[in-house]
Structure 1
Amino acid sequence: MNSLERVESKRRAKSKPARKRWDTLTDWARDRAGIITMPIARVIGRMGIHPNVLTILGMAFQIGIAVLFSFGRIHIGGVLLLILSPIDALDGALARATGKQSRFGAFLDSTLDRVSDAVLIIGLIIHHLRQDTPLPAFLFLISLATVMIVSYVRTRAEALKFTCKVGVLTRMERVIMIGILSALGLTVPLAWLLSILSVFTVLQRILHVYAISQEDSGE
């Protein structure tokens, strides 16, 4: 290959559109689900519903599901979680469709997501305490702590200008796992998986930020 051909080859390579990279299942789903959520969001927008109302409604549904968990209605709680969790994607789509995106809306969404995460796990803890099965309750307690840390690590990393979306168990994966295993009544395997994968995700994010910091410092 002569020099002219090499230059032309490089030019063609640069002109090729880069493949979109998704760091997490959440990113992939948000990108793909837009085809469905945006038309629905436009219809909701015409009804005059504010995105923050959907955010609060989504949290209220998850509190209701947590109450079902705590009273041993594990199967129905899991099914409802799988059915109703897409509402979590609609508030952002509604904000974009109606031009009502705001920093407060993003703040409220993130805050209520943490509340929803916590109450679901607390519901499962209460269920196992009522069943006198302390080991799963303890594992869910570990999960409760580490799920909050997973979120904090990302928030703190991004405050320091590091990207930190990586992780085997981000929010969407966690909700899907809780929904499926609860619907099947498999709360003990859920307790083990949730605690182990949450701890792993914390370590994964810490190591990710460490690697980026080392690259930035040139070490």
Structure 2
Amino acid sequence: MISSILGHELDKPLAWLIKKTVLERIHPIALTLIGLLINFMAAAAIILGFWITAGVLILIAGLFDMLDGATARTVHKTSSFGGFLDSVIDRYSDMVLLISLIIYYAIQDKIFLLTLCSIASLGTVLIPYTRAKAEAFIPQCNVGIMERAERIILLAAGAIFNIMDIVIWLLAIFTHITVFHRIYYTWREIQRREKMPCSHNLMKGD
């Protein structure tokens, strides 16, 4: 939802930051990989129970996730492969954090929270999957309350303020609400497009 509202609104201030720092000389893909490495560090901190450290690292990794795309657009190094790789790395980053929580709760013998984490992980995987599949049939499907930006903010807040149990509940519920929202939205859009008269006109050669 935040990503859909803001779009590339942050590009201007980020472009200023990029041009004023060494970031302009770093390849966007390198920034993507640095963000992934920081998320691995955050995952290690979660497993060890260093919650505040984990939360700060998640926020820093999120900053790199914003900077890689903004840097690519600022220095004119956008590419189809870069966009593809960024999406794949995002999935790794999502899952490494959630798996670290599953490991932590397994060590703590908190089976119920471990189960909730697994449910949240499933929803997290399905959110980008439903969008990718939907956009094979409709132009865009970025609806939903729990996109990646919201999930990052929640995980960071849960770690920093020691409310991760609540955050896991929210993720387990709202990731799946987002999935069902995207399924419904795609069904509705497909139905609407199938009823458009232009499809009949094309068949008639008009």
Q: Same fold (TM over 0.5)?
A: yes
Indicate if the aligned counterparts of 2:116 and 2:169 stay in contact, CA closer than 8 A.
Answer: yes
User: Which residue of structure 2 aligns with residue 167 of structure 1?
Assistant: 144
The letter of the residue matching 1:88 is D
- Offset of residue 65 of structure 1: 0.3
Distance 1:82 1:128 in 2: 22
Superposition pairs for residues 85-164 of structure 1, below 5 Å? Answer: 85-164=62-141
Q: Does 1:59 align with 2:36?
A: yes
Give aligned-pair identity as a percent. 32
User: Which residue of structure 1 aligns with residue 199 of structure 2?
Assistant: none
Tell me which of 56, 65, 80 is aligned to 1:79: 56
Tell me which of 179, 184, 200 is aligned to 1:202: 179
Cα-to-partner distance string for 1:153-192 (whole Å, 9 max, x where unaligned):
0011112234100010000011001111111111211111
| Structure 1: tracts of 5 or more residues without a match | 1-23
Indicate if the aligned counterparts of 1:150 and 1:202 stay in contact, CA closer than 8 A.
Answer: yes
- Offset of residue 31 of structure 1: 3.0
Distance 1:185 1:58, change over 3 A: same
Q: Which runs of 4+ in 1 moved over 4 A?
A: 44-47
Distance 1:101 1:47, change over 3 A: closer
- Offset of residue 35 of structure 1: 2.8
| Structure 2: tracts of 5 or more residues without a match | 197-206
Distance 1:216 1:43, change over 3 A: same
Q: Does 1:180 align with 2:157?
A: yes
The letter of the residue matching 2:44 is V
Indicate if the aligned counterparts of 1:168 and 1:197 stay in contact, CA closer than 8 A.
Answer: yes
Indicate if the aligned counterparts of 1:42 and 1:94 stay in contact, CA closer than 8 A.
Answer: no
Indicate if the aligned counterparts of 2:36 and 2:61 stay in contact, CA closer than 8 A.
Answer: no
Distance 1:27 1:47 in 2: 26
User: Which residue of structure 2 aligns with residue 189 of structure 1?
Assistant: 166
The letter of the residue matching 2:72 is A
Distance 2:26 2:193 in 1: 44
- Offset of residue 44 of structure 1: 4.9
Distance 1:121 1:46, change over 3 A: closer
Distance 1:47 1:210 in 2: 43
Max radius of gyration: which structure? 1
Indicate if the aligned counterparts of 2:123 and 2:172 stay in contact, CA closer than 8 A.
Answer: yes
Q: CA RMSD in A?
A: 1.6
User: Which residue of structure 2 aligns with residue 6 of structure 1?
Assistant: none
- Offset of residue 46 of structure 1: 6.9
